Amino acid sequence: MTKWFIKIQSDTKKHPLLRPLAVTVPLVFIVIIALLFINNNNTMAQDWEALRERMVNEQLKSRDIRSKSVLEAMRQVPRHLFVPEHLQRFAYEDRPLPIGLEQTISQPYIVAFMTEQINPKPGMRVLEIGTGSGYQAAVLAELDCEVYTIELLPELAERAKRDLNKANYTNVNVKTGNGYLGWPEHAPFDAIVVTAAPEEIPPRLVEQLKDGGVMILPVGPVHSLQHLKIVTKKGDEISTRRLMPVRFVPMIDRD
């Protein structure tokens, strides 16, 4: 291509009518490359969209996730943006994935199930303990909740904040801190979602629930059987119900 372009340039000195061609040819190549790049990006976007649709149909609807709003949120949130780049091809498979620092992003079904259990509504104030990748917070944000999320590890908190901004979720507040303490400045909360497992239900989190509020969390020892539980607060009465056996990373109590 270089020799051809040089020949055209030299020929234009002899033939002035060829001068426009010397400018047009490289511009044509630039336009073609740009169109190929745009087309490739559009194809990738369509592929991710198709994978999310299949995830919703095969992993969520087939396992009794019924909430239309939750299904739509799972259909819209780009999970691949919240996993390491080398694992993005697995983003819409129904399994947890490592995100570094001995932490994981939960499988899509568990995220959908836990979200459905709190019955999210637009405008609800939701506290999340264990930001991790930011994916659960993104799903809550997609549902138009006012999200407050706490991450113990500064590196993960910064990464989640970056990825949430990249995905245009502006209704999520991220801070680094001890999840056992909750976020009293913004309490009480309509719902609390805990994505790491304490051995006992943290009393300070129960205190930060609104009257009528719900909290969902895995409870149990590390490297052993845990159970997903839902806690409901009505006045001074606290009720707890066991939902299913699960396996989560431990919730760490440290400043």
Looking from the CA of 200 toward its CB, the CA atoms found within 13 Å total: 3
Residue type (1 letter), 235: G
Task: Compute the Cα dihedral for 29, 31, 37, 39 and give only its sign.
Answer: negative
The C-alpha atoms of residue 233 and residue 87 are separated, in whole angstroms, by: 39
Please say if 62 is a catalytic residue. Answer: no
Active-site residue (options: 106, 133, 224, 239): 106
Q: Report which of 170, 205, 169, 165 is spatially closest to residue 188, judged by C-alpha positions.
A: 205
Q: Which residues does the annotation mark as catalytic?
A: 106
